């Protein structure tokens, strides 16, 4: 960690004086383990020490401490050290009827003067923290409560967009609004766009506390800020770099490397020919990466305790690496090489009991059907360029940083 980071996150800016108007307010905090100052002090401790009144906490996916795996229920509890209520904003994702629990309750909000969110996002549509933000902001709008976003860097930067925009019929908790897979916005910028494009009567009293020093071209390791795992399977920036594409594997029966020390970098399953898969992917279709044939044994999750063969994704040039297309290329190759082994994962998935997980992640059934009919990922990718251009044009006025 740099002793003198070039970027100050919104939390540090808030503590340095921007939070003065809320000094006497009863605050609720939506936080997790990555909600920390540049000195690595947890947000709730730093705010309490600075004299702010933290009335309640709200836990997103993976829980307040980030200890829970994907698809694990997050329950409410009373904080043993602070003695305040911790409300769950995740519930049980295998039960569609619990989708309503993803928003703060009226009862919880009525005890607060304002709700503050400080979550480290990674700039990819499937990562649920921004949708927790969207639902919490809408709940505050309904109850007339101010909503504050303490902004943090998009670790993938803000210049590059990847992937498609979802079909409105396939919106879900891994994509509640039509944004590209790699959307190029910070949480604060996304909040401004979401709020402005909501119906006038549904807009929240929104305040974004911007960072200082962040530039759109910056990767996470160029900010000087420490990397704290925002979720159990996001151990470092390299994971986030491949996540936009390799998370698609979550929608198949292949292991996406959960249960190993290299989640989303290791992809495989029993019966796969890793060498053939690597040779196919290394034919020049995926710039900025090398796929190495490998074997691994997950300690938990898919294929736990079994030897999986497949590939490890080694990113050699992150500025050229098209993560989303790489994920499509990998899935297309695995399906073509091993039609008897490969399968799409069945529901339930993220509060949805009917649609395939892959379709929810990819934002429709057209990608899956296209791959099945032999359409190349490169051709699919080219069909989305205009959608991304229009999205960037629509959201540019909400940019807070150069």
Question: Are 186 and 118 spatial neighbours (Cβ–Cβ below 8 Å)?
Answer: no
234-251: pLDDT as tens digits: 999 999 999 999 999 999
Residue 47, pLDDT above cutoff 80: yes
Which token pair is 196?
């402005």
- Which pLDDT value is given to residue 67? 81
Work out the average pLDDT over 118-135: 97
155-170: pLDDT as tens digits: 999 999 999 999 999 9
Which residue, chain included where needed, has tokens 């892959």? Answer: 358
CA distance linking residue 25 with residue 111, whole number of Å: 11
Half-sphere exposure of 185 (CA within 13 A, CB side): 24
Residue 123, pLDDT above cutoff 70: yes
Residue 388 inside a domain? The answer is no
Residues 189 and 270 in one domain: no
Percent of residues, the chain, with pLDDT higher than 70:
99
CATH of the domain at 92: 3.40.50.12170
Q: Domain range spanning residue 283?
A: 237-364
3-state secondary structure of 385: helix
Domain-ending residue, one of 226, 250, 270: 226
CA distance linking residue 11 with residue 150, whole number of Å: 5
128-156: pLDDT as tens digits: 999 999 999 999 999 999 999 999 999 99
Work out the average pLDDT over 82-103: 91
Residue 391 inside a domain? The answer is no
Residues 306 and 201 in one domain: no
Which token pair is 47?
């705010």
Residue 3, pLDDT above cutoff 80: no
Helix boundaries (H) for 226-322: 237-246, 274-281
Q: Residue 284 CA to chain centroid, in angstroms?
A: 29
How many domains, in total, are found in the chain? 2
Residues 100 and 58 in one domain: yes
Which token pair is 11?
């939390």
169-225: pLDDT as tens digits: 999 999 999 999 999 999 999 999 999 999 887 899 999 999 999 999 999 999 999
Residue 4, pLDDT above cutoff 80: no
Residue 384 inside a domain? The answer is no
Residues 216 and 327 in one domain: no
Give the strand order in the sheet containing 206-209. 77-78, 85-88, 53-59, 26-31, 114-118, 147-150, 206-209
Residue 394 inside a domain? The answer is no
CA distance linking residue 301 with residue 70, whole number of Å: 10
3-state secondary structure of 91: strand
Residues 353 and 250 in one domain: yes
| Torsion angles phi and psi, residue 95, rounded to 5 | -120, 100
Residues 215 and 243 in one domain: no
Residue 244 inside a domain? The answer is yes
Residues 251 and 337 in one domain: yes
Domain-ending residue, one of 192, 226, 260: 226
Residues 43 and 155 in one domain: yes
- Which pLDDT value is given to residue 66? 82
Residues 198 and 86 in one domain: yes
Mean pLDDT of the chain: 95
Residues 104 and 214 in one domain: yes
Element spanning 308, H or E? strand 308-315
Residue 207 inside a domain? The answer is yes
User: Nearest-CA neighbor of 106 among 59, 138, 65, 62?
Assistant: 138
Domain-ending residue, one of 173, 191, 226: 226
Residue 20 inside a domain? The answer is yes
CATH of the domain at 302: 3.90.1150.140
CA distance linking residue 298 with residue 292, whole number of Å: 18
Residue 307 inside a domain? The answer is yes
User: Nearest-CA neighbor of 9 among 222, 193, 214?
Assistant: 214
Residues 189 and 257 in one domain: no
Residue 1, pLDDT above cutoff 50: no
Which pLDDT band, with edges at 50, 70 and 90, does 2 fall under? very low
CA distance linking residue 92 with residue 72, whole number of Å: 7
Residues 179 and 284 in one domain: no
Which token pair is 327?
């994920």
């Amino acid at each position: 960690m740099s002793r003198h980071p070039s970027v100050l996150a919104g939390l540090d800016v808030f503590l340095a004086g921007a939070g003065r108007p809320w000094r006497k307010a009863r605050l609720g905090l939506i936080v997790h383990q990555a909600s920390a100052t540049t000195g690595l002090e947890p947000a709730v401790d730093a705010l309490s020490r600075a004299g702010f009144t933290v009335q309640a906490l709200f836990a997103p996916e993976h829980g307040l401490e980030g200890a829970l795996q994907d698809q694990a229920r997050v329950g409410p509890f009373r904080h043993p050290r602070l003695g305040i209520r911790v409300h769950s904003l995740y519930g049980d994702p295998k039960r569609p009827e619990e989708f309503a629990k993803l928003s703060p309750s009226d009862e919880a909000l009525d005890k607060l003067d304002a709700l503050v969110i400080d979550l480290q996002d990674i700039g990819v549509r499937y990562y649920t923290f921004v949708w927790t933000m969207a639902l919490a902001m809408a709940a505050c709008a309904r109850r007339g409560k101010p909503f504050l976003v303490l902004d943090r860097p998009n670790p993938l930067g803000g210049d590059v967009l990847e992937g498609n925009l979802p079909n409105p019929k396939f919106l879900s908790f891994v994509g509640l609004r039509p944004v590209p897979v790699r959307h190029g916005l910070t949480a604060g910028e996304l909040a401004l766009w979401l709020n402005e494009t909501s119906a006038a009567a549904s807009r929240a009293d929104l305040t974004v506390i911007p960072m200082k020093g962040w530039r759109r071209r910056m990767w996470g390791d160029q900010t000087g800020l420490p990397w704290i795992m925002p979720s159990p399977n996001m151990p470092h920036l390299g994971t986030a770099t491949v996540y936009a594409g390799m998370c698609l594997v979550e929608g198949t029966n292949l292991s996406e490397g959960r249960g190993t020390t290299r989640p989303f970098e290791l992809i495989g399953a029993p019966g796969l020919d890793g060498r053939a898969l690597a040779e196919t992917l290394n034919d020049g279709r995926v710039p900025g990466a090398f796929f190495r044939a490998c074997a691994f044994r997950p300690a938990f999750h898919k294929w736990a305790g079994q030897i999986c063969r497949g590939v490890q994704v080694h990113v050699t040039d992150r500025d050229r690496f098209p993560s989303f297309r790489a994920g499509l290329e990998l899935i297309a190759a695995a399906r073509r090489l091993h039609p008897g082994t490969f399968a799409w994962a069945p529901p339930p998935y993220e509060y949805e009991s009917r649609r395939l997980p892959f379709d929810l992640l990819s934002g429709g059934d057209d990608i899956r059907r296209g791959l099945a009919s032999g359409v190349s990922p490169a051709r699919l990718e080219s069909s989305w360029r205009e959608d991304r251009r229009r999205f960037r044009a629509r959201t540019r006025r909400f940019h807070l940083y150069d």
